[in-house]
Amino acid sequence: MKTSSGFKNITRVDHDKKHTYGWLVRIVFAGKRYQRFFSDLAEKGKRASLKAAVKWRNKVEKKIGKPRTERRIIMHSPRNKVGVIGIRKGTKAMTRDGKKKGPVYEVTWFPKPGVVRKTTVSIYKYGRKEAFRRALSIRRKGEKMMYGEAVSPKMKK
């Protein structure tokens, strides 16, 4: 098996011993897996089966709410203590000499591959709930830059 170039989640399968030729589509999102095989024989050719695989992938991603992007999307991490990917709780110097530190939410996003953007929101200044609301808003704007739409959870009123 080899991965097709330029088609995320679509893999070429050429298995001579089993006489199996086609494209395998695998999508994993929000803890669920969606999978389907598109045979060259059933679709009447290699290009036709690839076209059908791409069409099915796009349809399923739209149905499950996954943004159509070639970039990797991470929705959950067991190491994340805050509950939203890209937001973490930390401390930041409040004075120039760095002796006094205050709690902050640090927000990270990647507008382009290889480019990292970070900012912080002060918990001391805004309070825990308002600081988190602001951090989540910043993260969602960053996700729109990364994926074309926000994928983190909606803000509660």
Confidence of residue 36 (pLDDT cuts 50, 70, 90): very high
- Report the SS3 class of residue 51: helix
Q: How many Cα atoms occupy the beta-carbon half-sphere of 19 within 13 Å?
A: 2
Would you state the pLDDT for residue 127? 92
Q: What is the pLDDT of residues 121-151, one digit of tens each?
A: 999 899 999 999 999 889 888 888 777 776 6
Tokens 């929101």 -> residue:
121
At residue 114 the predicted structure's pLDDT band, cuts being 50, 70 and 90, is: confident
The residues spanned by each domain of the chain are: 2-64, 87-147
Statement: residue 152 has pLDDT above 90: no
pLDDT for residue 67: 72
Q: Contact, 67 vs 59, CB < 8 A?
A: no
Is residue 134 left, alpha or beta, with left meaning phi > 0 and alpha meaning psi from -120 to 50?
A: alpha
Q: What is the mean pLDDT of residues 113-120?
A: 86
Who wins on pLDDT, 79 or 95? 95
The pair of three-digit structure tokens given for residue 123, joined into one six-digit string: 């918990």
